[in-house]
Structure formats: C-alpha cells, structure tokens
C-alpha cells in the first residue's frame, strides 16, 4: 500500500479548517498533517510536514493565499497548492495560478469533490477543466504581466514546432482529445507532446504552461 497523501489546510477560519480536516481524515489514502490560520505559516508548515498538497484560502489577514503560494514556489518545495475560493472565478484566481497554484476549488464544493480534488492535485494533474481554463484566461488575462516577444525567452526555443502548436492549443483551452482531433494525431501522442512541453518549460502542470504561454505572448487573451 502506498503512503497516504499528506495534506495541510491553511485558512483563517477555524471552523473551515476543522471541517476540511474531518472530511479528509476519513479517507484511507489521505492524512492531514497540519493546519494553519495564516499564509505566513504556510511555508514553514509545508517544509516541516513534507506536505504533498496544501489547501490554501485566498483571503487571509497579514499574508494572503496568493503570497503564500508564491513563497512556496520560490522556496522550491514540492507541495502543490489547491486554492480555495468563495466565488466561482474569483478575481484572485488568476493571480493565484500565476503564483504557482495547480488549481482551484469552491469552498462550498461537496465533500466528494474536495477529496477528488486532493487526489487529482497529488497525482500531478491540474484541477482546471479546459473550459474553466478558457474562461479564466478570457476574464483575467489582462491581470497578467505585459507579454514579452516570444523570441525573448529561451524556454520557447526548446520547443519543437509541433510542441509549440500543442502549447497554443492548450492555452486556448483545448483538452488532449480536442488537440488530437485538431492536429490529426492520436491522443496518446498528444499526451506525450504535452509531457515534453511541461518538461521543457520547467512547469509541473498544464495550467502553469498556459500561464507561461500568455505571459510570453504566445497567445493573447481573446485571441
């Protein structure tokens, strides 16, 4: 039997922390290894516990979830962040993804969705359906830093022409199956291309690849 998924819950409301902990701890493959009420404690908590997944509230006093997510990324920790938001497509979601989050979940999501989300994030996938990615980009793309000319970034130079095509289609919100249909490729081949794109861009999931694609001007919001 594999080791349980180690989770930390970071939220300024004790009732929320307790509720999430109760939901997750009944699962055999999940272990809540710590909680915190402030983003300032997040990095140290994740470093100390070796957490696989951090449930991260966005709106917290002192240090919010976006800054905490950025600190986790900059510290080079393997902990993957699942951002918790109160409203669908919260205005802070783009910033959180740009800071390094791997996805987001509404706080009022059913318990089974929370459990599923933790497992998806822990497995290395991004919890953003292509349609949600598309909506996020369309609504919040202007919040990203000004795009630089694509030729300015060496990461893009590592991509083959086909991999670049795949990146553009990913950034437009297409699923692997849709990319495969568009490029007349097998889905397994597309999956391989996606994996190579992530490796060459030095990102952990397709959401971060999409963020980079918009940051570097490979694609533009609404384009």
Can you tell me the distance from the alpha carbon of 202 to that of 5, in angstroms, rounded to the nearest whole number? 24
Can you tell me the distance from the alpha carbon of 166 to that of 72, in angstroms, rounded to the nearest whole number? 29
- Its pTM stands at 0.73
Q: Please give the average pLDDT of every successive group of 10 residues along the chain, which has 223 residues.
A: 90 92 94 93 93 92 90 90 75 78 84 90 69 60 50 81 92 84 93 92 82 80 58
Q: What's the start-to-end Cα distance of the chain, in Å? A: 47
Question: Which domains does the chain carry?
Answer: 5-127 (3.40.50.2300), 147-215 (1.10.10.10)
What does the pLDDT read at residue 167?
Answer: 93
DSSP output for 109-131 = --HHHHHHHHHHHHTT--B--HH
Residue tagged 């971060």 (tokens)? 208
What does the pLDDT read at residue 148?
Answer: 47
Closest CA to 11 of 110, 90, 85: 85
Q: Are 174 and 182 in contact (CB under 8 A)?
A: yes
């Amino acid at each position: 039997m594999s080791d349980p998924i180690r989770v930390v819950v970071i939220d300024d409301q004790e009732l929320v922390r307790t509720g999430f902990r109760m939901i997750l701890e009944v699962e055999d493959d999940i272990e809540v290894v710590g909680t915190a009420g402030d983003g300032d404690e997040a990095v140290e908590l994740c470093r100390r516990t070796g957490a696989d997944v951090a449930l991260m509230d966005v709106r917290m006093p002192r240090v919010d979830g976006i800054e905490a997510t950025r600190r986790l990324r900059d510290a080079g920790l393997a902990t993957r962040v699942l951002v918790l938001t109160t409203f669908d497509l919260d205005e802070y979601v783009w910033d959180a993804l740009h800071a390094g989050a791997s996805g987001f979940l509404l706080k009022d999501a059913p318990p089974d969705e929370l459990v599923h989300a933790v497992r998806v994030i822990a497995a290395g996938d991004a919890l953003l359906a292509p349609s949600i990615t598309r909506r996020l980009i369309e609504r919040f793309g202007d919040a990203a830093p000004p795009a630089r000319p694509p030729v300015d970034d060496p990461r893009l130079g590592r991509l083959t022409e086909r991999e670049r095509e795949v990146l553009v289609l990913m950034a437009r919100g297409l699923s692997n199956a849709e990319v495969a249909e568009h490029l007349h490729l097998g889905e397994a081949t597309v999956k391989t291309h996606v994996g190579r794109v992530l490796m060459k861009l030095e990102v952990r999931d397709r959401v971060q690849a999409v963020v980079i694609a918009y940051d570097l001007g490979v694609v533009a919001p609404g384009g």
